[in-house]
Structure 1
Amino acid sequence: MGKFNHQKENLYMKKIGILFLGLMSAFSFSQNTRFVYQVSMKTDSTAAPKIENAYLDISTEKSIFYGEKRMKRDSTIRQAMETRNFNFDRNSMEQFRTAITYSIEKNHATKTISYKDRIARDQYWYDEDRTFTWKILPETVKIGEYETQKAETTFAGRKWFAWFTQDLPFIDGPYKFSGLPGLIVKVEDEKGDYSFDLKETKKIAELPNFESRFGNNIKVKRSEFLKQQEKFNKDPMSFFQNQGGGGFGAPAPPQSRDNSNEADRRKRMEERLKEEAKANNNPLEKN
């Protein structure tokens, strides 16, 4: 009888141990988690791909995807504003120039995907009006420490292949990608122009806030955002001079006391912005 009770006690303790581990795992994943992706972007079809890191920060309520360089740039500017020290080397800001100017927020409750990007001084944002239709394939492969399964979809004029893992219980992924039964560890388009590869995972205290401190935050439909973006690419300075263009913007920048220097600065800026727009001939979203 004592042996039987001892066996029951051991079984009970095992069940408690399994329950404890399950609760600890759930608690661990309930904390804010940062997934670091290496992003390869062939934005210019005639040039080599650009390589940058980006973060997918996930909490219980939402996730935010954004570029590492943008976070560092915003942190530098915020510190300068708080200390009122505007004498920092502005040339050093060139190291924060990024191809990932946008941020993408996914609301877990409403399943809404919001895209935010700056046009001139204003931050525009829209809710994505397209959905992902995934086809899960039988192919599996181990990527790093994770067992993954392949899936495919078409989105924004490209065919995409993704590898997701159920080892990480997040129905999420980099950029706008989501909807698979596990975190997307890797996703790339059929031509290899764009890819997102998970490199690191860490816990963080809180998610960043990307509310603009300059200009306005303007919500539009996706079609309107694309129209404004096209207008900016054709005549960027009009957005600074005419309160953001078409009534959508912040006041124009103040005039310099040296009008000749100011004119030269504006001309150089306009040339640079037009050159950047011209070089972006292979965007991630083709349509």
Structure 2
Amino acid sequence: MKKLIYLLLFCPLVSLSQSYIIEYDVSLNVLRRSGYLIVNNTEESFYYETMIEEKNENKKKDEDETVNKTFFLGKSKNRKRYQLYKNQKDTLFNVDYLEDEKIINYEKFPRIDWQIKNETKKIEDYICNKATTFFRGRNYTAWYSTDIPIKLGPWKFNGLPGAILQIYDETGSFSWSITKIKQVKTEEKFIIENDLKIISLREFVEKNEKSKNSKTDRMMLKFVNRGSEVVKSEYNRGRETKFEWEIEETKKD
């Protein structure tokens, strides 16, 4: 009986635990997205992005009639891509797509080496501190607030002593800027389908790039068949340009 009373008293406390929902305006080169970071106090937190708009292509015709065409292979469907943080585990799960197949790829939870700077600025009503880092091929500047006691940020960014309210790379092509913060008493849950294929991040990157390059080849072939001269370039990785296993392989060489 005492155990039953304890459970009845404990369950409401779990359901009413304080959580945060932070919304971001996201710019990924030519793509614009909305980002949502849901930070729960219990077992897991997660982040996802949805598409606002995308630019599919950019075409320029030179004086010699050569067509220079850049393809931006963003998804035409408004799919959600998730990062799922298990609070007690050292693994980050990414829910993504290989062409039209929804899959899960996993990686070791990124340990980001932040350099804290002696600079502050105000974002919304929060005084923020500056930090910089180099992460997977890009230099980033982040502004975080210790007034919001969470160590997660948008996408895969984490490890600062407060919530990241703004972060951008040195080119200005990739950025996340806060649009809304709210505290909620009930947690928003994320349930992964049981039938999704699970692969490593490395396998996902290799298969995804092969698929993207193949798609680019097919699109370029249409212009070649029309008599245009086309110069091929490889698939642009976007925000992650260099992975840990590639850095290790370069050191061995």
TM over 0.5: yes
What is the aligned partner in structure 2 of residue 41 from structure 1?
28
User: Equivalent residue for 2:63?
Assistant: none
> d(CA) in 1 for partners of 2:156 and 2:130?
17
How far apart in 2 are the matches of 1:134 and 1:206?
29
Alignment map for 1:1-287 (pairs within 5 Å): 30-42=17-29, 49-60=30-41, 61-69=43-51, 97-98=77-78, 101-119=80-98, 120-128=100-108, 130-204=110-184, 205-209=186-190, 211-212=192-193, 216-235=195-214, 281=236, 283-287=238-242
The alpha-carbon deviation at position 111 of structure 1 amounts to 4.4
CA distance in 2, matches of 1:152, 1:284: 16
Q: How many Å apart are 1:125 and its aligned residue?
A: 1.5
SS in 2 for 1:220: strand
Greater helix fraction, Structure 1 or Structure 2: 1
* Structure 2 unmatched runs, 5+: 1-13, 53-74, 223-232, 243-253
* 1:192 counterpart letter in structure 2: G
Provide the aligned C-alpha RMSD in A: 3.0
Larger radius of gyration: 1
Tell me what 2:67 maps to: none
- Structure 1's unaligned 5+ residue stretches are 1-26, 43-48, 71-94, 237-266, 272-277
Look up the SS of the partner of 2:209 in the other structure.
helix
Does structure 1 conserve the Cα–Cα contact (< 8 Å) formed by 2:27 and 2:173? yes
- 1:164 deviates by 0.7
Amino acid in the other structure paired with 1:66 = Y
CA contact (8 A) 1:115 1:128 kept: no
Mapped to 1, the partners of 2:46 and 2:110 lie a distance apart of: 18
Alpha-carbon shift at residue 37 of structure 1 (Å): 0.5
Instruction: Calculate the TM-score normalised by the size of structure 2.
Output: 0.65
- SS at structure 1 position matched to 2:190: coil
CA–CA distance in structure 1, aligned partners of residues 191 and 212 of structure 2 = 23
Q: Which runs of 4+ in 1 moved over 3 A?
A: 95-98, 203-206
Q: Is the 8 A contact 1:123 1:212 kept in 2?
A: no
Kept in 1, the 8 Å contact 2:120–2:127? The answer is: yes
C-alpha separation between the residues in 2 aligned to 1:68 and 1:30?
Answer: 27
AA at the equivalent of 2:45: S
Q: Distance in 2 between matches of 1:279 and 1:203?
A: 43
- Shift in CA distance, 228/129, structure 1 to aligned 2, threshold 3 Å: farther
Letter in 2 for 1:286: T
Q: How many angstroms does 1:31 deviate by?
A: 1.9
3-state SS of 1:39 partner = strand
Inter-partner Cα distance in structure 1 for 2:24 and 2:208: 26
SS of the residue corresponding to residue 227 of structure 1 reads helix
Percentage identity across paired residues of the two chains: 27
- The alignment's TM-score, normalised by the length of structure 1, stands at 0.58
Aligned to 1:7: none
Higher alpha-carbon deviation: 203-212 or 56-65: 203-212
Q: Structure 1 residue 230: deviation in Å?
A: 2.1
Q: How many residues align?
A: 189
Q: CA deviation at 1:141?
A: 0.8
Shift of 1:128: 3.4
For residues 76 and 164 of structure 2, the distance between their equivalents in structure 1, rounded to whole angstroms, comes to 27
